[in-house]
Amino acid sequence: MTERQLHLMQVIGNSPGIRFREIMRQTGMKNGVLSHHLRALEKTGRIRVMRSARSTSYSTRNMSEGHLRVAGALQKSTPRAILLALAAEDGRRFSELVDCCGKSPSTVSLYLKALIKDGLVAAKKSGFAKRYHITCRSEVDRLVELYGPRSSDRPISGFEDIINSL
C-alpha cells in the first residue's frame, strides 16, 4: 500500500461515511488521483463503498452496512440535525423538526423521507398528529460519541442541501 493510500485509510477511518468531495478537500488530492487510489483500495477490499443514486460514501471494512448508512446521514447537515433532534427527544412532530433544523419545511421533508426510506426514522400516527421516531438510536449515539460533529464534517455553505436535493 502506498503512502497516499495509507493517508486515505486514515481519513476514511476518522470519518466513516465520508463523501468523495470531502476526502478531496481533506487530502488535497486531485479528482483523478483520488479516484485511482480509492478504486485500488476498493479492489483490494480495504474500504467499503456504498453507492446510492445521488452519492457515494466510504468507510473502512469493519463498519457494518447499517452503521455506514447512519454515518452517511450524519455527514450531511440536515439529516444530522434531524437525527440529533430525534435522539434528544424521540417522537417529535414535523413542525418541531423544522424548528430544530432551521431549514425550510420542504428541505426537512425531503431529507426526512430519505431517512424513512433508509430505515433510520419511522413515522407513527399519534391521535391526529404524525410523530417521528429514530429507529437506530444506539448507532447514532455510538457514532456521535466516537466521531462527533467536527468542523470538517460541516458543509461550507448551504450548497450541500441544494445539490443533494437534485
Grid coordinates given for 69: 448508512
Beta bridge partners of 56: 51
Q: Are residues 33 and 50 in the same domain?
A: yes
Q: What percent of the chain has pLDDT over 70?
A: 88
Grid coordinates given for 126: 399519534
Identify whether the C-beta of residue 47 lies closer than 8 Å to the C-beta of residue 59.
Answer: yes
Identify whether the C-beta of residue 91 lies closer than 8 Å to the C-beta of residue 131.
Answer: yes
CATH number of residue 160's parent domain? 1.10.10.10
pLDDT for 144 equals 79
Task: Say whether 71 sits in a helix, a strand or coil.
Answer: helix
How crowded is residue 17: how many other Cβ atoms within 10 Å of its Cβ? 25
Residue 160 lies in domain: 65-166
Encode pLDDT of 72-96 as tens digits.
788 788 999 999 999 889 999 999 9
Measured on CA atoms in the order 120, 126, 131, 133, is the torsion positive or negative?
A: negative
Q: Are residues 58 and 76 in the same domain?
A: no
